[in-house]
Structure 1
Amino acid sequence: MKIMKKRIIALTVLCLGIVTAATAAKLIPNTASEQKSDDKQKEIVIEGVGISKTIEATGDETIRIEGTNNKITIKGSCNAIKIEGVDNVVTVDDVKSISVEGTGNKVNYKKTSAADGKVISAVAGVNNKITKI
């Protein structure tokens, strides 16, 4: 009988954890924020699921995208793009550095203003692609 009670308690705790996680996921909104530092560099952060957004960049921004199935267009030049997530698609006019972690992310860039003419890239994960268009 003690073993049965322990199993019921464990199952109850597990179910409560699942319900809590599901409720929390519904309460967390998709967000896009711009965090500016006092130096020249600023970071634009986009977090969430299914966000479609166009960003006007001036050349000194780092744009960080975290989440799933976001479609981001970056007009102008940015310093760096950092992606963590799944199935994000980013199109950028001009970028110096691209970092991608996750699965199925795609970055399309038109040109790079890096000194040597080559975009600096780091890719970790599966089916991530960086393509010059």
Structure 2
Amino acid sequence: MRDTCVPTGVGLKDTGFGYTLSLIGGKYKMIIMYWLSENKVMRHNELKRSIGSISFKTLSIMLKELESDGLIIRTEFPQVPPKVEYTLSERGLSLVPVLNMMCEWGEKNSLPAMEPVQR
């Protein structure tokens, strides 16, 4: 077993850790993957509604990046109006345990809600 994911003298981008961060880093990629893992198949507007704070353009960019990285599959149906669905690929599904571990860590390590001050 290694002592560290980022050995001394090795650039972060040249490590497995850095590679993983390059795929799922940023404000929305893990959130998109989370929603797809929970719902299996979602359309663009469903994702936008679920995330809430993301713009149409940003969501489109994130989906294109996730697709080009092989983490999601975009399926376009030839109909009018056009219908496009997104699902996690096998590669994307392999990251779900990582997302679940992050969720569990957050639940165990988040600060408790502040108690109201009694006067």
Greater fraction strand: 1
Q: Which has the larger radius of gyration?
A: 1
Structure with larger RCO (C-alpha < 8 A, sep 6+): 2
Same fold per TM (> 0.5)?
A: no
Greater fraction helix: 2
TM-score after normalising by structure 1: 0.20
TM-score after normalising by structure 2: 0.21
